[in-house]
Amino acid sequence: MTDTSSYRTLPDRLDNPLKSAVLSWESLLVLVAVAIFIVNSFASPYFLNAWSLSDLTFNFTEKALIALAMALLIISGEIDLSVAAIISLASTLMGLALQYGADTPVLVAVGLGAGIACGAFNGFLVTRLKLPSIVVTIGTMSLFRGISFIILGDQSFKGYPASFAWLGQGYVGWVISFELVLFAVCAIIYWVLLHRTNFGRRVFAIGNNDVAARFSGVRVDKIKFILFCLTGLMSGMAAVLLTARLGSTRPSIAEGWELEAITMVVLGGVSILGGAGSIIGVVLAALIMGLVTFGLGLLNVPGIVMSIFTGSLLIVVIALPILFRMWRQRA
């Protein structure tokens, strides 16, 4: 029997597998993505240009990489609000390494290593000291970005080598960016990890009932620590790509990205309370947010409007299941 417990579904779900798939949350996201694509194609004459569509991918791939790992963390019942600050610190440390003559492989290693170290620090505080993850990561959000401001102040690091810049600006074939290919590979890896391995099943078990998972022999703290490290790793990867794309490092880099990453995860059908979700949904949600932001950009809509949209979308997506349950109870 196919295990569909991890997938969020629309009301009135039926037992027929085909009908369940058609009525799933992921199917709704596909329809929304198609609708937004059609609207954008009519709203701007530049949207259907091949290079414009390629530029669209830069709008979401870096944030979506974080969302892949964040999805597993939220499914387990935890959260990380420090991901944008990790990007800032990792980018700053790469800039420092550049000042000492580091080449591209070393810069990448510094970025990824800094991300893992920050994730491990968060994981240690949560799993060893038993501190709430939301409190820990609010604290480290200020800590990591504060260190960046101490190092850089109002300055910036520039002069990254061309080989490093290619990671954030390069193409592997005509209009297909390296970032998009990397995201596709990571999405497949995380889909297999979450939906086709014992590790993924344990993540769902922890999110559904932490205590029961412990009594079942699941090493809850170890798995949560790994998930925080993975989130840090993906944040470090996003830092490498973003820094390479911008060609510079500033302490204010990636401000507000934690909100967008969490919105992608929740919009993708991952329960904010843990225990349910899918990688396919997260990928579709990332595409939808990329389509919306790119479409608004082509129409010269101010960035503050996008912030309002993102915040409103997060509230609506979290509130919808609660409102539906209340309606069902009254009915």
Residue with tokens 């412990």: 214
**For residue 171, what are the β-bridge partners?**
177
pLDDT at 153: 85
How far is 163 from 243, CA to CA, in rounded Å?
Answer: 13
Distances (CA, A) of 120 to 232, 258, 291: 7, 18, 33
How far is 261 from 238, CA to CA, in rounded Å?
Answer: 12
How far is 65 from 85, CA to CA, in rounded Å?
Answer: 15
The 10s digit of each residue's pLDDT in 42-88 is 988 888 888 888 888 888 999 999 999 999 999 999 999 999 999 99
pLDDT at 224: 97
Domain ranges of the chain: 17-330
pLDDT at 16: 64
pLDDT at 180: 95
**For residue 248, what are the β-bridge partners?**
158
pLDDT at 318: 81
Fold of 17-330: ABC transporter involved in vitamin B12 uptake, BtuC (1.10.3470)
Q: Are 227 and 76 in contact (CB under 8 A)?
A: yes
Average pLDDT, whole number, for the chain? 90
pLDDT by position in tens, the chain (length 331): 445 445 454 444 445 666 666 668 888 899 999 999 999 999 888 888 888 888 888 889 999 999 999 999 999 999 999 999 999 999 999 999 999 999 999 999 999 999 999 999 999 999 999 999 999 999 999 999 999 999 998 888 999 999 999 999 999 988 899 999 999 999 999 999 999 999 999 999 999 999 999 999 999 999 999 999 999 999 999 999 999 999 999 999 999 899 999 999 999 999 988 999 999 999 999 999 999 888 888 888 887 877 888 888 888 888 877 787 788 788 7
**pTM of this prediction?**
0.90
Q: Are 117 and 231 in contact (CB under 8 A)?
A: no
pLDDT at 103: 95
